[in-house]
Each structure stands twice: as C-alpha cells, then as structure tokens.
Amino acid sequence: MNFFQILSEIEKTDPEVFERFDSRRRVFKHMTGFGKKMTAAALPLAMGSIFNKAYGQTTTSAPSIPDVLNFALKLEYLEAYFYNLGLSGDGTIGNNTTSATQTALRAQMSPNNVTALLKIRTDENNHVNFLREALTKAGATPIAVPAVSQFDFTGGKGSGTGPFAGVFTDAGLFLAVAQSLEDTGVRAYKGGAPYLASNDDILTAALNIHSVEARHAARLRTMRRGGLMNTAPAGTAAGSNPSSSPKSWVSGTDNGGASPAQTAAIYGAGTAPAYTPSGITFPAEDNVTQGGVNLQTALASLNFPASAFSEAFDEPLPVPTVLSIASTFTITGSTFFA
C-alpha cells in the first residue's frame, strides 16, 4: 500500500487535503518511520483514524460553503436595501421613502458624510452582486432576490412605527441603525469563516468583505462622533469631545448599542450551535481572553483597562444569533431570516 500515492489521488479532488491536518502534519513528517513500524493490516486502521480527524471536525449538520455564502448574501441584501432606501433618491421605493425624503436626509449631513455613505452603499450593492456570482460559479443557487416590502427598518415588523421610527428622516438615527447593521455584519463574517476554510479562494474573498464591513463600521462611528455636519477629513472628528461616545471602534459591549432593547445582542455572547467545531466559542465583545490567555491578568503590570484588551479584538457571532438580530428589520410573517 503506497500511502503517499493515495494522498496524491485525494489531492486531485481536494487540493486543501494537507491543510486539513493542522498539528497532525507531524504524522507526515515522520511517515516513513511510522510506516516501517506498522504491519500491512494495521496501516488501513491508522489511515482511517487520521482521516476521521482531518475530515470529521464538524457534524454533518454544519453549514456548507453555499449555505454560508447565501447566509452572507441575506445580510448584504439587508444592508444594501437600507442604504438604497435612505440615499438613492430615485423616487418612491418603499418603506415610506421618496426622492424628497432622501434629499432631506442628505441635507442634514455634511457633503463629506454623504459621500462616505454613498461609498458604503456602493460597496454593499457590490457585495450582493459578488456573492450571487460566487454562488453561481460554484454551481450553487443564490437565494431569490427579496422584495423590499419584506423589510421594516423601523423595527416595527411592518407597522413602520418601531423603535427606529424616523430612521429615514432623522440622519442621526439613520447613522445609528447603519452602525448596528455593519457591526452585525463584522461579527457574522467572522463567525462564518471556519466553514469556508476548505476553499482558500472563497475564504479570502469573505475575509476581504469582512474587512470592508469593519471599515464601514469604524467610519460610521467616526461620523456619529464628529457630528452630522462634520466637514473634517475622514478619520477625524473636529469640534468633538475626544472622550465622547461612540468611539470609532467597538468598546466593551457598546452600552447595548443604538437601542439596547433591540441591539444589545449585536455585542453580546452567542450560543454555539450543535455543529460548531471544537474549540470555537462566541464570547461577548467585552471579552479579554484570547487563545486561552486572560490578557488583562497576564499583562496586569501595564495597568491597561479591560476595555483596551476587548477593543483589540472582534468576536464572532453564530448564524442563529445573527439571524435573530437581522429579523428585527423584517415584517411579521417574513421567513427571509428564518
């Protein structure tokens, strides 16, 4: 039995086979000696054990790559529709917005802020197009394009009178909801990454989108901190109090977010689904432990506050938690985030 020939054949259909073994690479490093010490009858059993470890990291109910991409596509539709409704200025397009309301919303903000929002809107629409194309190229079926009427960005489940009522007429509220959506997206992409690890190209693309979502979130915080009419360059907050909230990054659990009753879950801990790979957890954003090390304790001599350690890392969220958060902005009866 030629073990390496078998691996060569497997590699033809799974180019990432060697990457699946992680710390078990030492098995292959010493495979020659390992094989000499084994009988021909024992070798198949050893191979079975090795491959069970390599390919058995999650249960069969774990989401597939198309599942994760369609999940991401749903979130991108949520964000793209939000910015389109608030900013596009192309006539009546649902959720009680018209070209007049969109113009009025823009007028409450400086040209710099409007330009930033329009760039974010373009990014989100591009993400929708990219994910649909990626799914199609992978031989999978993208979700059906959702109707705008499925969404209620006031959080009123279709009444238009939810906790974010006025979201498309009050620029401050618009930015707060935008921040909530982007923060959810950042944690969602990080939570979905482990299920894309078997395809380097798709994982790289997803992480690229993740980084863009993080930039969006930081820019929106800077806009909120600097004020609606701030005309300073991106990344500054002229005339604002540097110690005021929000910071331009997530700090702790963000005081529950824009409207704690609805947004606290964005910054809280998630419950790991049964299919979660071993070792993956979903702590809240105020987490100070990374890689099993409590950074606040280990670096106590530096006298940094706990917030400094939590601010240095983004934490993932599992799919069920993200779907629950996103459903805040759909109408009663919608199954889009079911």
Give residue 62's pLDDT: 85
Give residue 232's pLDDT: 57
Give residue 20's pLDDT: 46
pLDDT one-digit tens code per residue, 177-228: 999 999 999 999 999 999 999 999 999 999 999 999 999 999 999 999 889 9
Give residue 246's pLDDT: 67
Name the segment(s) of the chain with CATH classification 1.20.1260.
Answer: 65-267+315-329
Could you tell me the two tokens for 239?
Answer: 């005339």
Beta bridge partners of 289: 294
Q: Are 319 and 71 in contact (CB under 8 A)?
A: yes
Give residue 97's pLDDT: 73
- Confidence (pTM): 0.78
Give residue 105's pLDDT: 94
Give residue 32's pLDDT: 45
Q: Which CATH number fits domain 65-267+315-329: 3.30.70, 2.60.120, 1.20.1260, 1.20.1070?
A: 1.20.1260
Q: What is the amino acid identity at position 190? A: K
Give residue 96's pLDDT: 64
For residue 289, the SS3 value is strand
Q: Are 77 and 128 in contact (CB under 8 A)?
A: yes
Cα separation of 288 and 285, whole Å? 9
For residue 103, the SS3 value is helix
E-strand ranges in the chain read 289-290, 293-294
Closest C-alpha to 67, from 15, 135, 145: 135
Give residue 279's pLDDT: 86
* pLDDT < 70: residue spans in the chain: 1-60, 89-96, 232-246
For residue 33, the SS3 value is helix
Q: Are 223 and 175 in contact (CB under 8 A)?
A: yes
